Amino acid sequence: MLALKLLLRVMLFPVWLILTFLTVFTSLISKVGNLVMGLFYLYILIVAGVIIAEHAWLQLAIAMGISFALMHRQLHMGDKARFHFDWKYLVGSGLSVKDFIAPSGFEFPTGRYFKIGDLFCAMSFLSIDASDISDRMLADFLGMESTQIVTMHIQSVDQNEAIKTIKHTITELDRSKIEEQKKAVRAGYDMEIIPSDLATYGRDAKALLKELQTQNERMFLLTFMVLNTGRSMQELENNIFQASSIAQKHNCNLIRLDFQQEQGLVSTLPLAYNEVDIQRGMTTSSTAIFVPFTTQELFQDHSGALYYGLNALSNNLIMVDRKLLKNPNGLILGTPGSGKSFSAKREIANLFLVTDDDIIISDPESE
C-alpha cells in the first residue's frame, strides 16, 4: 500500500510541476499584461496632455498676438505704421515684444497732456454724479468724430462687504443728520430743516441697500476713462471740450487726470491693469448701461440677402432675405416724400440683380 502511494506521487509529480509552472507563468503574463496596459494608458494620457497643452499654447499665442496688434494700433494712432510680428523674430535677435509695439517715443512735458510721437493726447476720467444714467452716454462718446479711446475697468465687490459698507455710510449720514438737527435746535429753527444734499444722499443710500438685499443686485467698482487725441494742442483742447459737453449733458463731469497721465495711459492698454485709483460704486443694472454690445443687428450672410438700409444705432448694414424670416411679408410706411416709392423700386432692382425670383408688379397709380 505504501509502495502504491509512493508510485502515485512519483507519477503525479510531473503533472503538479507542470500545473504549478502554468499557474506561475499565467500570473506573470497577467502582471506583464497589466504593466503593458498601464504603460499604454500612460502614453495615451501623455499624448493627450501634449495635444491639450499645444492647443492651449496656440490659443494663448493667438490671444497674445491679437492683444499685441491692438496695443500697436493704440500706440500708433498718429502714424501709419503696420504691425509686423512673429515669435521667430525674437530668437537670436535680442529684441523683445516691446520693440515691435512701442512708438517712436513718449513725451510727458506737463501733468495735463502727453505726446505719442507727433500726436497730442490727454487722459480724463468720468465723474459720475448723476443718480440716473442714460444708455446713450457711451454712444455719444463713441460717436465723436475725433480719435479717442474709452476704457472701463469694472471690479466686482463681495456682497457682504458691499452691504456692510453701505450700512456704515447710512450710519454716518444719520450722524450728520443728528448734528444738523442739533444745530437747528440751538439756532432756534425747525429741526426738520436739514441740507437737501444730506436728505438726498440718505434716501439714495437706503434705496441702494434695499436693492442689494432684495432685488438680486450686486455692487461693482467702475473706473471710466477717456483718452482724447489731436494733431495739435488746439485740436486736443477742442476735442476735450466736446467730450466734456457730452458728459455734462448726462449730468456727469469729465475731469483731467492731472499728473496721472502716464498711469492713465497704462490703464487704457489691453492688459486688464488699472493704475488709476478713482472708482465709482455701481449696481448691476447701472453697470449694464455701459455695456456697448446691446444693439440688435439684422444681417444674414446669405446669397439672397438684400440691402434694406442702416441700423439707426450701430450704422451697420441691414442685409436680410425676407423669404427666410418667420414672416416674409413687408410693408413700407412713411410720410409723404420720405422715399417709400424709391425704397420699393430699389428693392425690386436689387431683387432682379441678386436673385432668380419672379417679380410681379401691381401698380394702380401707373408709377
**In whole angstroms, what is the distance from residue 210 CA to residue 335 CA?**
47
Determine the angle formed by the axes of helices 196-214 and 159-187, rounding to 10 degrees: 150
- pLDDT greater at residue 9 or residue 201: 201
Residue 326's contacts (CB-CB under 8 Å, 6 or more residues apart) are none
pLDDT value at position 275? 92
Contacts 24+ apart (CB under 8 A), 328-331: none
Most confident of 123-127, 289-293, 312-316, 347-351: 123-127
Confidence at residue 74, expressed as pLDDT on a 0 to 100 scale: 86
pLDDT in tens, 52-81: 665 554 455 555 667 788 888 888 887 778
Domain ranges across the chain: 20-103, 119-288, 295-367
Mean per-residue pLDDT, 139-151: 88
Q: Which of 185-199, 253-267, 339-353 has the lowest mean pLDDT?
A: 185-199
Is the pLDDT score of 190 beyond 80?
no
279, pLDDT greater than 70: yes
Query: What is the model's pLDDT at position 123?
Result: 95
What is the average pLDDT value for the chain, to the nearest integer? 81
Q: What is the pLDDT of residue 42?
A: 66
Q: Which residues pair with 124 in a beta bridge?
A: 226, 256
The rounded percent of the chain whose pLDDT value lies above 70 is 81
Q: Once rounded to an integer, what is the mean pLDDT over residues 135-153? A: 87
* Alpha-carbon gap, residue 253 to 328, rounded angstroms: 47
Q: What CA–CA distance (Å, rounded) separates 312 from 314? A: 6
Cα-atom radius of gyration of the chain, to the nearest Å? 37
Tell me if 177 sits within 8 A of 195, measured CB to CB: no
Q: Which of 58, 57, 85 is nearest to 69 (CA)?
A: 85
| Distance of alpha carbon 307 from alpha carbon 332, whole angstroms | 14
Residue-level pLDDT at 134: 80
Q: How confident is the model at residue 40 (pLDDT cuts 50, 70, 90)?
A: low
Q: What is the pLDDT of residue 265?
A: 93
The pLDDT, as a whole number, for residue 21 is: 60
- Cβ atoms of residues 239 and 230 within 8 Å: yes
pLDDT confidence of residue 257: 93
So what's the pLDDT on residue 11?
Answer: 57
Q: Is pLDDT of 104 > 50?
A: yes
Split at pLDDT 50, 70, 90, the class of 2 is very low
Q: Among 128-132, 245-249, 259-263, which is the least confidently predicted range?
A: 128-132
Residue 156 CB-half CA count within 13 A? 7
Min mean pLDDT across 8-22, 80-94, 102-116, 173-187 is at 8-22
pLDDT for residue 6 is more than 60 = no
Q: What are phi and psi of 306, to 5 degrees?
A: -110, 155
- Residue 299 is given by DSSP the state B
Q: Please determine, for residue 350, whether its predicted confidence score (pLDDT) is greater than 80.
A: yes
Lowest mean pLDDT among 41-45, 132-136, 173-177, 286-290: 41-45
The three-class DSSP label of residue 116 is strand
- pLDDT of 242 > 90? The answer is yes
* Cα–Cα distance for residue pair 316/194, rounded to 1 Å: 52
The alpha helices in the chain, defined as continuous H runs, are 2-75, 97-101, 136-142, 159-187, 196-214, 233-249, 261-268, 284-288, 340-354
**Band (214; pLDDT cuts 50, 70, 90):** confident
Confidence of residue 303 (pLDDT cuts 50, 70, 90): confident
Looking at residue 118, its pLDDT comes to 87
CB neighbours of residue 72 within 10 Å: 18
Question: Measured in whole angstroms, how far is the alpha carbon of residue 277 from the centre of its chain?
Answer: 20
Pairing state of beta strands 119-127 and 114-116?
antiparallel
What's the confidence (pLDDT) of residue 310?
A: 85
Q: Is 90 helix (H, G, I), strand (E, B) or coil?
A: helix
Return the pLDDT at 293: 64
pLDDT range class, residue 229, cuts 50, 70, 90: very high
Cβ-based neighbours of 260, under 8 Å, separated by 6 or more: 111, 123, 275, 276
Residue 3 confidence (pLDDT) above 70: no
Residue type, 21: F
